[in-house]
Structure 1
Amino acid sequence: MPTPTPRAVVLAALGLPAALLVGALAPGAWVWGLLFEVAVLALIGADALLARWPGRVALTYALPGGMEVGRAAPARIEARGLPLRAEARLEVSDPLAVSGGAREGEAVSFDVTPLRRGTGRFDALWLRWPGPMGLVRWQKRARLGQEVRITPDIGTVREEALRIFSRMALGETVQRQRGQGSEFEALREYQTGMDPRAIDWKHTARHRTLLAREYRTEQNQNVVLALDAGRLMSEPIAPGRLSRLDVGVTAALLCAYVALKRGDRAALFAYDAQPQVSTGLVSGARGFPALQNAASGIAYSSRETNHTLGLSALAGKLDRRSLVVVMTEFADPTMAELMIETVGRLTRDHLVLFVAFRDEELEAIAAAEPQEVEDVSRAVVASDLLRERELVLTRLRRLGAEVLEADAETFGPAVASRVVAIRERGLL
C-alpha cells in the first residue's frame, strides 16, 4: 500500500495558507487554492502509479541455518525488480541483532549477530521504495518465518586453541612442560636458564658434569569447569553485548578442548540456585562434543546463585583431587562471604582456580577525572567497591585458591593460559 512522504505532506499543507490568503485578498479567486490541492493530489496519484508495484518484486534469500553466539553471520537477500533507491530492513526476534543492509546491485546484505544462545527467528523482510517524484512510498512485507539454532561459540574455541598449541609448538612452553612436571623424565646437562633447584648433585659428582633433572607433566588429570549461571552472570556485560555466562561458556569449552588434547579429562558443571548441568568426566578429543552439547543446554537464570549448594554438589561428585575452575561474578558482600566459605572448603581436597570478570565500569568511574561534585562522590563509591572486591580476592588467595581477574575481551584465552600454566607447574 502506498503512503505519502513528508514531501507530499508539506506540499499539501502549503496550499492551505495560500488559499486563505487568496480568499482574503480576492474572494473570487478562492477556486485557485482548491485547484492547487487537487493538483497536489493528482501528482501524488501519478507518483504512486509510476512507482513499481509490490507484486513485481521477486525475492530469493540465503539465511544462515545455524549460528554461534557472538559471531556475526551474513544474511543475503536478492530482490529482482526492486528500484535502486529502495530500502530494506530485516525483522528478527530478540536474540538476534541486525546491522548493515547495504545494496549490492539487486541484493541486500545484512550482518546478523546472535546475542544469546537458544533459538532465533528471521520474521520478515520489509521493503520500501519511493516514487519518481518522491511523493509516495511503496511498502511491502515479505514473511520469512525461518528459525535458526544458536549454539556456543565453537569457532572462537578452535581459533584460540590453535594459537595456544602454536605457541607450544614454537617452544614457548615446551621447556616448562618437560622441566617442571611431576614425573621424572631424564637427566641432561645443565644449561643457562634452567632452574638451579633441578640440579642433581649426586649424579653431578659422579659424572663430574653439572646435570639437572627433567620432569614430564603428568597426564590424565581431572579438569572441572564450574560455571555460575545465576542472575549476575546471565546479565549482559553491557547493552548490546554478550552475557557473562556466554563468555564463560566459551572460556570453559576452550579450557576443556585444550585439556582433552593434552591428555587430561574434563567435565562441565553449571549451577544457579541449584545444579543445572553436570556432564561427568570425559577424555579424548571424541569427548568434546558431549561437553559442547551440554554447554548449549545451560539456561539463563534470574535467580541468585547458591554457591554453597552448587559447589557442595560438585565436590560430592569428585572422587580424586582435581583442578576446579570456578567462573563467577559477585557484587553483594553477603553473597561473597558465603562464596568464600564454600571455595575454602573446596580447596581442602582440590586445587581451585577462581576466575572473575574485571569490573571495567567501576574501574572507569574510579579513574575518570571529575568534572562535577557528583563525579567525586561516584568515584569514591566506585573505589570503595573495588577495594571490597580486592579484599574478597585476597581472602581467596589466602585460602589456597589460584585467583584470576580477566576482562571480557580476553577472558577465554586468559583462563585457558592459566590452566595450562598450572598443569605445567605440576601444582595438581
Structure 2
Amino acid sequence: MIRPSIRCVLLMAAGAPLALLVGVFAPQFWFAGLAWVPMILAFAAIDAALAPRAPALRTSCPGSIEIGAPLIVEITVADRPIDGLELAVATGPKLAPRAEGRIRLGKRENHAAIAFLPVRRGTDKVEALWSRWTGPFGMIWRQRVEKLDRTVVITPDIRPVRNSAHLLLRDAQMGEMARVDRGEGSEFEALAEWKSGMERRTIDWNHSARHLKLLARENRIERNNQVVFAIDTGRVMCEPIDGLPRVDRAITAALLGAYAALKLGDRVALFGFDSQPRVASGAVSGTRAFPLMQRLAGQLDYSSVETNYTLALATLAGDLTRRSLVVIFTEFTDPTGAELMIRAATNLLRGHLVLFVILADDELEDLAGAEPAAIDDVSRAVIAASMLRERRIVAARLRHAGIHVLEAKHDQVGAALVRQYLDFKRRNLL
C-alpha cells in the first residue's frame, strides 16, 4: 500500500499560492501553475519506485501475562535494516500501549520492542503488525499490514508471591520441617531452661519449683486453621487505582496471603461476591493447591452492580462449619451501604475472626490536601475531605464492633496482610 507523506501533501498545497503569484505578476506564464501538480506526482512516483522492498519481520510475544506486568512485543528485521522504518502493533482493548504505541528504527537497527500494559484480566489478542517506510525523497509512505492474531491470556498478578513471600515468611514456620517459635503460639512443644531474652510469661512456675531452676514452656504455632479470602467485585471495586482496578489489587494481595497461609499449614478458601455470591471454593491445604487458588481468582469477573453485603456474608457464614479467619476486601463510598456492611459483618463476627482490608485512596488524599487555586479546587477539596471523613468513621465503627481493619496503599497491602496474619497466629486469635 502506498500513501503520500506530509511532505508530498504540503508541496502540492504550496502550488496554489505559487500559481496565484505567477498569475498576478506574470500572467503570460499562467500555464506554469498547471504543471506543478503533475511534477510533484512524478517525483512521488519516482520515490515509490526507488523505495526499498518490504522487509521480512519476525514477531514474538508471550502467550500469557500477569495483569500489571508489561507485555513486550519483540520485532526483528530478518534482512537488511531500513532507515526510518516505523513499526506499530494493533491489540485489543485490554492491552494499552505504555508509550506512543509505535517505534522508529535507525539506519543500523534491526530490533524493536513495544510494551503494552494489561488493564483487565481475561483474554485479548495481538492482532496485527503495521510497518511503513519512505522512499529516498520522503514523498511517499510504503505501508504493510501483517495479520498476527495471537492470543494473550491475562492472569492475576502473582509477582509478589514469587518476589517477597520468602522474605515475609522468613521468621515464621515454613516448609515441611517444623520450626519452633519460642514463646509464641498455643500448642505446647517442650520445656527448656529459661534464658535471658525469653518472655517471663512463658515461665512454668510449678515445674521450676520441682526442678529448682527456672523452666519455660516452648510453644509452637497452631496449624490447620482456616482462612477465607472474600473479595468484593462490585461496581466500586472495579474503579481504577493507579491504573488498575481495585479488585485486581485485592486479588494480588489475597493470593500473597493465601500462599503464606498454605505455606504455614493452614487451609485456605476463596469467596467472590457482588450482588450475589459468584465464586465459592472449598478449603484446600498445601502449597500444591496454590495454582487452584490462582485459577479461581482469575474467574472473578468485573461487575457494574452494587454489592449486597447482607446476602453475601450471610451465605458465607452458612457455608463455614468451623471458626475461620475471614479476610474481606471491599470499598465503601456511601453511608447506607456502609451501614448494611457493618450489620452483616457484625453477624459474621459471632463465630469468626473478621479482618477488613481497604486500599488507601491516594487520589482523595491529594485532592483534600492540594492548595486551591480556583473555586473548583475548593469544591473538590471539600468533597474529598468529606469522603475521607466518612471512610474514617466507618473504619472506626468496625473497630469499635470488634472487627479488625487493615488500610494500606495498593503496593503495600499484600505485605501488610501477611504481617497481620502472622500476628494473628502468634497471638492465638485464629
TM-score by length of structure 1 reads 0.92
Q: Which runs of 5+ in 1 are unaligned?
A: none
Alpha-carbon displacement from aligned partner over 1:310-359 (angstroms, at most 9, x marks no partner): 11111111111111101111111111000001111111100011111111
1:259 correspondence with 2:258: no
Structure 2 residue aligned with 1:274: 276
User: Which position in structure 2 is the counterpart of 1:137?
Assistant: 141
Q: Once the 2 structures are TM-superposed, how far is the Cα of residue 59 of structure 1 from its aligned partner?
A: 2.5
Aligned to 1:13: 13
Q: Tell me which amino acid in the other structure corresponds to 2:37.
A: E
SS in 2 for 1:139: strand
User: 1 CA distance for matches of 2:61 and 2:342?
Assistant: 47
Q: Does 1:94 align with 2:96?
A: no
Q: Bigger CA drift: 138-147 or 207-216? A: 207-216
- Using the TM superposition, give the Cα deviation of residue 213 of structure 1 relative to its aligned residue in structure 2, in angstroms: 2.6
Q: 1:296 & 1:306 partners in 2: Cα distance?
A: 21
- The whole-number CA distance in structure 2 between the counterparts of 1:233 and 1:249 is 11
**Aligned-pair identity (%):** 47
Contact 2:95 2:124 in 1 (8 A): yes
TM-score in terms of structure 2 length: 0.92
Whether 1:76 aligns to 2:74 is yes
Moved more, 214-223 or 282-291: 282-291
Question: Is 1:215 aligned to residue 219 of structure 2?
Answer: yes
Give the structure 2 partner of residue 36 of structure 1.
36
Query: Aligned pair 1:106/2:110, yes or no?
Result: yes
Contact 2:191 2:215 in 1 (8 A): yes
- 1:176–1:425 CA contact under 8 A, matched in 2: no
Secondary structure in structure 2 of the residue aligned to 1:105? coil
Which residue matches 2:244? 242
Q: Which of 158, 164, 181 in structure 1 is aligned with 2:162?
A: 158
Unaligned runs of 5+ in 2: none
Question: 1:280-315 deviations in whole A, cap 9, x for unaligned?
Answer: 101112222221221111111111111111111111
Q: Residue type matched to 1:160 in 2? A: S
Whether 2:377 is the aligned partner of 1:375: answer yes
* Structure 1 residue 208: Cα displacement: 4.3
DSSP 3-state at the match of 1:353: strand
**What RMSD, in angstroms, separates the aligned Cα atoms of the two structures?**
2.2
1:226–1:268 CA contact under 8 A, matched in 2: yes
| Structure 1 residue 232: Cα displacement | 1.1
Change (3 A) 1:308 1:184: same
Higher helix share: 1
- Matched residue type, 1:291: M
Q: 1:125 aligns with which of 123, 129, 132?
A: 129
**Separation in 1 of the partners of 2:180 and 2:394?**
31
Instruction: Check whether the contact 1:178–1:217 (CA below 8 A) recurs between aligned residues.
Output: no
Q: How far apart are the structure 2 equivalents of 1:181 and 1:115?
A: 42
Is the counterpart of residue 24 in structure 1 residue 16 in structure 2?
A: no
1:296 corresponds, among 295, 298, 318, to 298
Give the Å deviation of 1:276: 0.6
1:178 matched residue in structure 2: 182
Counterpart amino acid of residue 339 in structure 1: M
Q: Amino acid of the residue matched to residue 391 of structure 1? A: I
1:228, distance to aligned residue in structure 2 (A): 0.6
Q: What's the offset of the Cα at 1:94?
A: 0.8
Amino acid at match of 1:187: L
Cα distance in 1 for residues equivalent to 2:200 and 2:375? 57
Q: CA deviation at 1:376?
A: 3.0
Contact (CA 8 Å) 1:176, 1:424: kept in 2 or not?
no
Structure 2 CA distance, aligned partners of 1:5 and 1:192? 82
* 1:231 partner letter: R
Partner residue, 1:194: 198
Shift in alpha-carbon separation, 1:167–1:16, aligned structure 2, 3 A: farther
Offset, 1:191:
4.0
Matched-pair contact (CA < 8 Å) for 1:308–1:339: yes
User: Quick check: 2:81–2:109 contact (8 Å CA) kept in 1?
Assistant: no
Within the candidate set 229, 233, 251, 1:225 is matched to: 229
Greater Cα offset, 333-342 or 38-47: 38-47
Give the match's secondary structure for 2:30: helix
| 1:412 Cα deviation from its structure 2 partner | 1.6
Deviation at 1:381, TM superposition (A): 2.4
SS of the residue corresponding to residue 179 of structure 1 reads coil
Counterpart-to-counterpart distance in 2, 1:17 and 1:182: 92
Cα deviation for residue 192 of structure 1 reads: 4.3
Picking from 43, 62, 76, the partner of 2:60 is 62
Corresponding residue SS for 2:198: coil
Amino acid paired to 2:254: A
Q: Deviations over 1:97-131 (max 9, x none)?
A: 23365548322212232221110101111112122
Q: Is the 8 A contact 2:134 2:140 kept in 1?
A: yes
Counterpart secondary structure, 1:283 = coil
Structure 1 stretch displaced more, 186-195 or 124-133: 186-195
* Inter-partner Cα distance in structure 1 for 2:181 and 2:363: 38
